[in-house]
Structure formats: C-alpha cells, structure tokens
Chains A and B, each alone.
Chain A
Amino acid sequence: MTPPIRVLVVDDSALMRKLIPQILQSDGSIQVVGTAMDGHFGLKKIEEVKPQVVTLDLDMPGMGGLDMLKEIMLRHPVPVIVVSSHSTQGASVTLQALSMGAFDFVAKPIDVSANMPEIARELISKIKAAAQSRRVAIAAPIEARKQSQKPILETKTQATRIVAIGISTGGPQALQYLLPQLPKNFPGTIVIVQHMPEGFTEMFSRRLEEICAITVKEAQSGDLLLAGRALICPGNRHIKVKRLPMGDVAVLNDEPRVNGHRPSVDVLFKSVAEEFGEKSIAMLMTGMGEDGAQGLGVVKAAGGMTIAQSEESCVVFGMPKAAIERGYAVRVIPLDALSNTLQAQCMHDRKVGSKTESEDRGRSAGVGKN
C-alpha cells in the first residue's frame, strides 16, 4: 500500500478546518497532517509537516491566501488547491490564484449533509490529481496589457475553421499562456469548454479578454462564431454549436451532466463534429478524467483535425492521455507549440479552401458539411 497523501488545510474558518479534514478522511488514502488559520501559520506548517498538497482559503486575516500562495510558489512549491467562495470577488481572486500557480480550485462546500457525495468526490479526486501532478514550468503569467480599442468584430467574416478546446485542471494557466499568443486577425473561431463552476467562467473570460488580442467572451446562446473570437462556455451549462442560415452560433442548454461534468467537452466535440465535420479542429488539453476523449474520436471520425496536449506540458495528463490511448489524437503537441499549430491549421485551411473550392465558399465555415 502506498503511503497516504499528506494534506495541509489552511482556512480561517474553524468550521472549515474541521469540515475539510472530515471530508478528506473519508478516503483512506488521504491524511490531513495539519491545519492552519492564516498564511503565516500555513507557511510554518508547510515547513514543519511537509504536506504533498495544500488546500487554501484565499480570504484570510493576517497573511491572506494570495500572499501565502506567492510565498509557497517561491519557497517550497507544493500543489495548492484553492477553496473558493462563490462571490464574484471570490471568482476573480481565485483566477488570480490560478494564474499564480495554484493547481486547481474547488468551490466552498454548500449544505454538506445533503451534498456530501459530490463534494467529497470532487475534493478527493482533485487532491489525488494534485499529489500526482508534476510541476510544469509555465511562462510567467502575462500581465494585462492595455488593449488599444479592439476592432469591432466584422460579422460578415466567417471563420475558416472552428477550434473546439476541451480543458480542465491546469486550464486557466494553459489558456492564459496559449490564447494571448494568437493574433487579432486569427482566422479561426474558438469555442472552449473549461471545467469551472458558474460565475468563475465570466470572470475568467474577462481576464482573458484583457490579455488577448483576439476577443474573448463568455458564451451566450445565439452568440456568433466569428473569426478572431473565442467563446467560453459558462459554468453549469452545456455548449453546442449550430449552423443557421445567417451564421454559425453557439447554443447553451441545461441538459444533465455528461461524464459528471457540465459543461462537458464531449458535448461540445460531438456537436462540432456533427455540424462542421472536417472543418473542425478539436483540441484536448490538460485535465483529469476522460471528458472529451470520446468526443475527440467523433471529431476524428468526421474527418476533423484532433490534437492532444503532450504529457510533459500537462499539469494533469488525464484527458489527453485517455484520447491518445484510444488512438483518437491525430497529433500530440506541447503547449508552447499549440499556438503555431492552430495558426497554421487555420491559415493552411484557408489556402486549401481557396484553391480547392474555387466557388468562393472558402470564407464560410459552412463548407465542411456538404
């Protein structure tokens, strides 16, 4: 038997310091080795008990969570799972934490006695993933750059191809690395499913919008899939794409969870494959579990391009691994090469499109489904 995963719980709420260990100890392979009520204590405890994973509340007196996180990353890097509150402010701070190197986050438990199974499952699986994760050297988070007025998106320009991205743990960091590299005249349109609860996705989209040349927006039903635009599926909803007479749109729905997720990557990939066929590019990035693996297969079967992020650049090599093992990934590419690959794919397609399809249909993403 492997030794249990040593966890340190840092939270200023006495209740949480009791509750989180209780939740964790329901799993035999996790051992809470200590608790701390603020950042100072937390750092001391880290040195003392050498935990493998830290759960961290961000809103604490004294040394707050973000300051502590900075110290942790600097002094004794250990995966940190942020236990985040549900407020808007909570979301924004959480995202800040993620871009500073927090491994992942969970929402603060709500109504434990009723929701224990889900709460426990999520927290425990994330802790296990964190314990197994390797440290991935991620380029320093890109500072928000003052965007000079972004061009108003030309609704007439149809995207050359649709890029569907499925991503989970480690995603915020990876996307904040990848998306800013795309130029504002990026010819493809992007739809992203990032496993993240409601409220967080909005904040996340805003943050990306700030640092990207392309426009980034939390998707609403009816949003157009435009070139140079990335839509992020809001938490707790599914996203599909639809081709309508006047343009291609994203459609949200509230159908049940798929693979335990809503949004689910599989839902997006399958819908993309169905609507766009060989015009689709599906990309499965860092994250635990298998959501999206099957969908990647469907895209491949429909003639689309499928990409999996390579193991060494993944914080958690779960979803891409599942796809690669099944043979669904046409290409396996490290994070730092993804931007170029996407640009090449989308450009390349435009050329091919104008050559092979002389009847001026290359501008429409609709050509894929003849």
Chain B
Amino acid sequence: MSQFPDERAAELKELFFETALELLQSLNEETLKLEKQPGDLESVRTIRRIVHTLKGDSAAVGYHELSELAHELEDALALEGGGAPTALAEVAFAAADTFSAMLSSYRDQTKLPSAEPVRKLIRKMARDPKTRKPRIPKTKAASVPEVNWTEYEKLAMQAALQQGKKVYHITAQIDPNCAMPIAAQQLILKALAENGEVLGTRPEPGSAKNAMQFQLLVASDQTAEDLTVKCRIPTVISQVRIECIGTPAPKPAQKEMAGEVGTEHLSSQSPVAQNEEKAEAKIVAEPVHETEPALTPQPPDREATAKPIPALPENVLRVDAERIDIVLNLVGELIIGKSMLQQAINEFAARYPKEAMRGRFADAMAFQSRVLNDLQRSVMKVRMVPVEQLFRRFPRMVRDVAKQCGKQVDLVLNGQDTALDKSLLDAIAEPLTHLVRNAVGHGIESDEERARSGKPAVGTIRLQAYHQGNQVIVEISDDGRGIDAQKVRTRAIERGLLKREQASQLGEADILDLIFRPGFSTADEITEISGRGVGLDVVQSVLHRLKGTVHVVSHSGQGSTFRLQLPLTLAIIKALLFRVEERLYAIPLNAVAEIARAHESDIHRVDNCEVLQLRDRVLPVARLGRPPEDRLEGRSERVFVLVIATGERKLGLLVNAIEGEEELVIKALDEQTAETDLVSGASILGNGHVVLILNLAAIVERFANSRPDTAGGPGMGLLLSHSERARFAQSAVGGRP
C-alpha cells in the first residue's frame, strides 16, 4: 500500500495542472474585483484562500518553488489588516503571471522562471508601512545575528556577574578560506576557555553546522582588549567583535571592538538577566495580539459576504473529450441504424399490409426512437460547456490591453451560462480573443477623444452569449468610435476588393462585411494589441469552418457590434433534404426561413441577377443546379425555393424537389476530398444513400461575391460536377478511392 505508483503520480500531476489553472483563473478574477474596489476585504480573503489552496496543492505534488512563492504571498496577504491598497492587486497580478509561467515550465520540464521580481514586490508590499501595522520582524538579516541566550546561560551570566566577573559576547568571523570551520571553532573555544569561563556558544557545541560565524558568551576577569588579542588566530579568524554585556559594577560598561581596532562604549544595562527576562516576556505576548485581528473579523461578517469562488461543482467527473466523441459517434451510428430499421419496417408494412406484426413493429420503433432521441440529447449535453469557460479569461485580458493602450475600459459579461459544444468553444476562442483585443485597441477611443464626443471616460465592452433557436449567438460590442463605412469603401477600392461602380450599389451592411475579406487589413495596423498578423478574414474563415457566420453592425461614433452565430453543435443536425438534378443535398433546417413554390416563369433577371417576387419582397435567388435547357419548355417547370436567412440577408435557393427532414449525423470530409468550401460535410441515410450537407454561409458568401462580375453566372448553378460528387460520396461511406 505504501508505494505511490508512477501512473498515479502522473495522473495527480495532470489533475494538479488542471485545478491550478482554474485557481489562477479565479485569482485573476478576484484580483480584478479587488482592483475595482480596493479595500474589499472579502476579495482579499478570497485571494488569500485561492493562494492558500494553490500552495497546498503544489506542495502535495512536490512543486516546492511554486508552493513557497504562494506561501509568501499568502503570508503577505494575511498581514493585510485594513485598508487594502491598490498595490495588492498589482502584486497579485504579477504573482498570477509568475505562477502561470511556473506551471508551464513544470509541465514542459523547462527551467523555472525567476520568482525574484514577484518576491521583491511581495516583500515590498509586506514592508510598506502603509499597508501594514508595524510588527516585530521575525528574522533579521543583520550581519551580526541577535543571539537568544538560553535561560540557563543567562542564569550563568548572572552568577558570573555576582562573582565579580565581566561577561562578554564575542563574535568571531571565521576566515572564509579556512577549510574546517568546526576546527576553527574548537581553537577559539580553547583559547577563551583558558582565559575565562565559556558560558555558551552559537552554534551550540556538537552542532554539525558549518557556520562561518561563531559566537560565544564568556565570563572573564580580563578586559575586552586582552580577550581580543587572545582571539586573534591568523588565517583562521578573520574578524573578532567583542561586546561587554555585563560588568559587576553598578555602572557597567559595554565595550565593542569592531575588527582589529577595538572601540568601547558605555551602556547602562545593569542586571542583564533580569532585564532580558522581562523583554522576552513582552516579545512572547505580542505576537499573540498580532495574529488576533487577522482571525477575529471572520465570524460576524462571514455569512453576509462570503461568496463561494466559482469552482467545479461537486460530483464532477473529468473525462477526456475524445471518449465522449466516441460515444457520440456511436450514437450517430445508432441513428443511422434507426433509419435503416424504419425503412425496413416501412417496406415490410407495404408488403404485408394485413400482417398483425406491423403494429408491434411500429410500437417498438416509436419506443426506440424516443430513447434514441433522449440518448442523443444527453450525450450532446455532455459535450456542452458554459461559455463562461471562455469568457472568464477576458476580464484580465481587457484590463491588460486597456492598460497598455492607456485607456479605461469596463468589460460587461452577459449570459456566461449559455452552453455550447466544447469543440466549438475551443474553436472560437482565438477569433473571439482577436475581436475583443480589437475592440479595446481600435474600438474604444482615447480618453481625450471620448471627452470630446461627450462620452463617459470609461469605455464599455459588452460580451454576451445567448441561444437563438438552434444557434448560439456571441456578441462583442463596444461603445467606441464605430466603423466608418465610407472609409471602408475607400479602403476596399484602394485594395482592389471592389470596383468603384460596384461600391455604389452596395448597402451599408455589405460594405461593412468587406472588412472580413482577406487582404483588407493593412500591415501598418499590426500592433502588439490587436494586430498579431491575423485579420478579420481569419475570424471569418474560422466561423465558416464551424458553419457559423460573423457580421458587424456599426454606427459611426456609437460603437460596433460583432455578432458571431454558431450552430449549437457540430455533430448532429436537423436537416432539410432536397434534390438538385436528382442528387440529394441537405441544409440545416434551422437556416430555412420558408419554403415556397414557384414556376420557372416567376424568376426574373435584374442586373445580372435572378430574383423572385415573393409576396411583396424581391428575393435574390441562387441556382444550385443548371437552368432548364430549353428556356421555353422550362418556363412552366415547377421549382422549390428555400428561403434562407443568414445575418441580415435573405436568399432563395432554387431546388428541384424536397425530400423531407431528417436528423443527420455529420461526417466530416477531409480537405483532400472536399476542394470546395460549399460543402461542409456528408451523411449517410438509413437506406445507405449519401447526402452532402451544404455550407450555407459559404454559399451566401460565394453568391454575394460572385454576383457582380459573373458573366452569365446566374444560370450556371453553384453546385458541383459529377466527378466531384462521386468522390464525396465514396469518402463519406468510408471507402477511399
């Protein structure tokens, strides 16, 4: 039982890293709170508790450097009686950074970062007279350490004084070149024993300490000068200091001999033992009072103010995300299995309409579907995590960036408990970070500018998340200067992203969307704050990859809002199945606003663009397939129009037939297979058929971008060649060509 197996230790360390990161996160959050409300004792206490836990945990796994640093910080925080200064927040931030750096080096087994700068800060804070009450320092780093002679030694001192002897405190500095300090101690001990009585020594006799400083308490009849001479042992003792701490006379003298040259000075300290006894009693009593204030304020205000640190709730199981994916995959397979069964039953029912078993099959099927639904939902829920996990990193980041830019920015978080698929959450971390940095760096104006436009000095950035139908919306808004559509237009024309004549046709929303186009961002904008070489185009491409969209709404002078729209999950969707030229496709059902029927004859061309009059609106339509070959004949052909809405825009997709809705388990297509971004995945139906799932965001994008200059484009159809389709199909089934 006694050995701790290696794999256990490794597991423990893994857990440590995980919990430590969470602790650091809480530390940052709590420190932010403290920074906003300096002097909030509850925050100080919470910070101390977090540091305390970190200390204990790191000690448990054997990371002593981290533990010690945490310990120092904890102690410094414990001193904090009243009036917590802002310096504390600074120190806590610095410490959090160092902790985090230490964690990474422990994990990567690289050299530990120096903790000295933080240590200095901590000590400075602890020393600062404003931050703490004067307190007797525990340890003094003086060159001559204070010696606490024992009671017995003091007793001996007193006895010697009564016998008419003088008592000296001799400090001998042993020569640094002396190879055997212990032997040197013996030498000097012998020399002094011949000239008086050695009452005590430090280090104590028999101690193995190789101290280079040897202190003795000697009672002798001789004068300090005489003793100094006796102590001079060349090459062994480099320096001797003699202090007379007691003479029998009522007016005793205190002598001090520094180095080779002795000086004498007087002191009125008389019955030494008695005095020191009193002094000691005082010292013992005082620390007790010192510690009390730190403890006593707790009980009364505890219940009122104590708030639990956001931590993992109890009974939490940490599971590798991969394992959940496996389960989810199996659930996906089950759903396919269910469709197969359903079809078999349907066929069976058609073939034997009178068979009594049909009812039982149907019942069993219904039951199975229900359970399967629940199962699927439960597994999906397992993958869902609150966006808070992502949001919580921003307060600290906003603070740092704002500080760097010399701005004052408040971050308001909303809807942190909105749940989102873990893989999505991870994927949007980078783009969201970019957007938040942008908002602080470029969105919020400088103090002067804000003052000029009559805004409050402190800028506000709002980060919120909420569910909308089957989607999750994440919004970042600032109350800054906003994006000037006119400038964007000019820039886009400069960059060649837009022809001048097209520019005038575009509405404001379209113009603003240009900022997501590759090549829009300019090199001179790349700053440490938000540049990083990544432009908004990257944000958009990530969002597209996730079957999401990003849009911006901006009012010049009032701020901008970036809106990220994401599917709840990547794995299973409710889809609308339809056919284009006999081929089966699917799009997420939630994107479909309306399904309308139309005749080819209802479709008109306006400006190189096909449109459909739907009720009282003109809807641009995109043709997925080829237009009817024979224009005249085709005029009467009936088509379906799927009205989809992405962001502000609406678009109609022309398809030939609707197949119904179904739950699809998305199988990713690797990049080799799918050359186009128009398809986001594939799925297998119950009957074994393969269906391609279209990436609506990309289609809309393609449509919008290609519209102006596609000569005769509208008729061509966006979808793919036969050979391409064949390739998709094969890979989705699992086989490789």
A111/B8 in contact, CB under 8 A: no
CA distance A86 to B55 in the complex (A): 10
Which residue on A lies nearest to B56, using beta carbons? A108
Of B1, B16, B148, the contact of A120 (CB 8 Å cutoff): B1
B312 adjacent to A19 (CB under 8 Å) = no
Give the contacting residue for A61; candidates B49, B60, B159; CB below 8 A: B49
**Does A354 belong to the interface (CB within 8 Å)?**
no
A112 contacts B4, CB within 8 Å? yes
B406 at the interface (CB under 8 A from A): no
Which positions 302-341 of chain B face chain A at CB distance < 8 Å?
302, 306-309, 311-314
Give Cα A283–Cα B707 distance, bound, in whole angstroms.
99
Q: Does B78 contact A (CB under 8 A)?
A: yes
A27 contacts the other chain (CB 8 A): yes
A15: which of B15, B64, B74, B288 is its contact (CB, 8 Å)?
Answer: B15
B177 within 8 A of A: no
Shortest CB–CB separation between residue B613 and chain A, in angstroms?
62
Measured between alpha carbons, how far is A237 from B173 in the docked complex, in Å?
A: 29
Q: Which of B12, B60, B277, B309 has the most CB of A within 10 A?
A: B60
Residue interface mask A99-137, B partner, CB < 8 A = 1: 000000000111111101100110000000000000000
| Residue in chain B with minimal CB distance to A124 | B1
Least CB distance from B25 to A in Å reads 13
**B contact residues around A18 at 8 Å (CB):** 12, 15
Does B731 sit within 8 A of A, measured CB to CB? no
B260 proximal to A (CB < 8 A):
no
Q: Is A340 an interface residue (CB 8 A)?
A: no
Contact code string A8-31 (vs B, CB < 8 Å = 1, else 0): 000011111011001000110000
- B72 to chain A minimum Cβ distance, whole angstroms, is 10
Is B270 in the interface zone, CB < 8 Å from A? Answer: no
Minimum distance in angstroms from A18 CB to a CB of chain B: 6
Instruction: Please pick, from A59, A87, A111, A152, the residue contacting B71 in the complex, using a CB distance under 8 A.
Output: A87
Which residues of chain A from 36 to 64 have any CB-CB distance to chain B below 8 Å in the complex?
A: 36-38, 41, 59-64
In this assembly, does B430 line the interface, its C-beta being within 8 Å of a C-beta of chain A? no
Q: A226 to chain B: closest CB distance in Å?
A: 9
Contact with B along A218-229 (1 / 0, CB 8 A): 001111100000
Contacts A16-B60, A89-B294; A246 near B159 (Cβ below 8 A): yes
Q: From residue 29 to 83 of chain B, which have CB atoms closer than 8 A to chain A? A: 46, 49, 52-53, 55-57, 59-62, 64, 71, 74-75, 78
Asked whether, in the complex, the Cβ of A223 is within 8 Å of the Cβ of B152, the reply is: yes
* Interface pair B295/A206, CB less than 8 Å apart: no
Question: In the bound complex, do residue A61 and residue B306 qualify as a contact, i.e. CB atoms below 8 Å apart?
Answer: yes
Nearest A residue (CB) for B315: A35
Which of A13, A27, A35, A249 neighbours the largest number of chain B CB atoms within 10 Å of its CB?
A13
A16 to B151, CA, bound (A): 43
Contact status A111-B53, CB under 8 Å: no
Q: Given A18-B15, A87-B74, A206-B287: A108 and B60 within 8 A (CB)?
A: yes
Contact B56 A117 (CB under 8 A): no
Given contacts A12-B311, A85-B55, A217-B284, contact A93 B60 (CB under 8 A): no
Q: Which of B53, B59, B298 contacts A110 (CB 8 A)?
A: B59
Task: Determine if A155 is an interface residue (Cβ-Cβ < 8 Å).
Answer: yes
Q: Are B57 and A93 in contact (CB under 8 A)?
A: no
Is A286's CB within 8 Å of the partner chain B? no
Any chain A CB within 8 A of the CB of B486? Answer: no
Would you call A313 an interface residue if the criterion is a C-beta within 8 Å of the partner chain's C-beta atoms? no
Counting CB contacts under 8 A, is B672 at the interface? no
Q: Mark B259-294, 1 if CB is under 8 A from A, else 0.
A: 000000000000001000110010010011001001
B149: chain A residues at CB < 8 Å are 222
Q: Does B150 contact A (CB under 8 A)?
A: yes
Nearest chain-B residue to A35 (Cβ)? Answer: B314
| B residues 212-233 in Cβ contact with A at 8 Å | none
Q: Which residue of A lies closest to B311 (CB)?
A: A37
CA–CA, A329 and B308, complex, Å: 52
Q: Which residues of the partner chain A approach B294 to less than 8 Å between Cβ atoms? A: 89
Q: What is the minimal beta-carbon distance from B148 to any residue of chain A, in angstroms?
A: 7
CB-CB under 8 A for A152 and B278, given A112-B60, A206-B284: yes
Known: A15-B57, A223-B150. A117 touches B288 (CB 8 A): no
Cα A223 to Cα B277 in complex, Å, equals 12
A249 to B2, CA, bound (A): 40
Interface: B156 (CB within 8 A): yes
The answer, among A13, A60, A152, A220, for a CB contact under 8 Å with B19, is: A13
Is A247 in contact with chain B by the CB < 8 A criterion?
yes
Q: Which residue of A lies closest to B53 (CB)?
A: A13
Question: What is the CA–CA distance of A178 and B1 in the complex, to the nearest angstrom?
Answer: 39
Is A275 an interface residue, CB under 8 A from the partner? no
Q: Mark A288-318, 1 if CB is under 8 A from B, else 0.
A: 0000000000000000000000000000000
Q: How far apart are B301's CB and chain A's nearest CB, in angstroms?
A: 13
* Also in contact, A110 and B60, with CB within 8 A (given A18-B15, A36-B314): yes
- Tell me whether B3 and A224 are in contact (CB under 8 A): no
Question: Does A224 lie within 8 Å of B152, measured CB to CB?
Answer: yes
| A residues less than 8 Å from B60 (CB atoms) | 15-16, 19, 108-112
Q: Which residues of A contact B155 (CB under 8 A)?
A: 155, 224, 246-247
Query: Interface digits, A75-109 against B, CB 8 Å rule (1 contact, 0 not)?
Result: 00000000001111100110000000000000011
User: Which residue of chain B has the shortest Cβ distance to A89 in the bound complex?
Assistant: B78
Cβ-based interface call for A209 (8 A): yes
For the complex, count residues of A whose C-beta is within 8 A of B.
57
Q: Is A357 an interface residue, CB under 8 A from the partner?
A: no
Tell me whether A244 is interfacial, beta carbon within 8 Å: yes
Is B204 part of the binding interface, using a Cβ–Cβ cutoff of 8 Å? yes
Q: Which residues of B contact A87 (CB under 8 A)?
A: 52, 71, 74-75, 78
> Does B2 lie within 8 Å of A117, measured CB to CB?
yes
Is A71 an interface residue when CB atoms closer than 8 A count as contact? no
Contact A26 B62 (CB under 8 A): no
- Digitize A139-155: 1 where CB-to-B-CB distance is under 8 Å, 0 elsewhere: 00000000000101101
Of all chain A residues, which has the CB nearest B277?
Answer: A152
For B12, give the chain A residue with the smallest CB separation. Answer: A19
Tell me whether A210 is interfacial, beta carbon within 8 Å.
yes
A164-222, CB < 8 A from B: 206, 209-210, 217, 220-222
Question: B9 in the interface, Cβ–Cβ < 8 Å?
Answer: yes
Contact call B284/A15, Cβ cutoff below 8 A: no
A59 to B287, CA, bound (A): 22
* Contact present for B2 and A26 (CB under 8 Å): yes
Contact between A13 and B57 (Cβ–Cβ < 8 Å)?
A: yes
Interface contact A224-B151, CB-CB below 8 Å:
yes
Assess whether B2 is in contact with A120, with CB atoms less than 8 Å apart.
yes
Question: Knowing A220-B148, A224-B155 touch, does A61 contact B55 (C-beta < 8 A)?
Answer: no
CB distance from A9 to the nearest CB of B (A): 11
Known contacts: A89-B78, A92-B291. The answer to whether A15 contacts B16 by CB under 8 A is yes
Q: Give the CA-CA distance A108 to B71 in the complex, in Å.
A: 13
- Are the C-beta atoms of A222 and B57 separated by less than 8 Å? no
Which residues in A have their C-beta under 8 angstroms from that of B16? 15
| Residue contact B56 to A85, C-beta cutoff 8 Å | yes
Q: Are A113 and B151 interface neighbours, CB within 8 A?
A: no
B61→A111 contact, CB < 8 A: yes
**What is the CA–CA distance of A64 and B306 in the complex, to the nearest angstrom?**
9
Cα separation A110 to B61 with both chains bound (whole Å): 7
- Tell me whether B2 and A116 are in contact (CB under 8 A): yes
Contact A209 B74 (CB under 8 A): no
The reply to whether A121 and B2 contact each other, CB–CB distance below 8 Å, is: yes
Find the B residue at minimum CB distance from A22. B8
Whether A116 touches B3, Cβ cut-off 8 Å, given contacts A13-B56, A35-B314, is yes
Check B151–A249 contact: CB distance below 8 A. Answer: yes
19 further A-B contacts with Cβ under 8 Å, apart from A12-B53, A14-B15, are: A12-B309, A15-B61, A18-B12, A61-B308, A62-B306, A62-B308, A87-B74, A92-B291, A108-B60, A109-B60, A110-B60, A155-B155, A206-B288, A209-B284, A217-B284, A220-B151, A221-B204, A247-B155, A249-B151
Identify the 9 closest CB pairs spanning chains A and B, nearest first: A222-B150, A111-B62, A116-B4, A117-B2, A26-B1, A222-B152, A113-B9, A15-B57, A62-B308
A-B contact pairs, 9 of them (CB 8 A): A12-B53, A14-B22, A18-B12, A61-B46, A62-B306, A85-B56, A87-B74, A116-B2, A246-B155
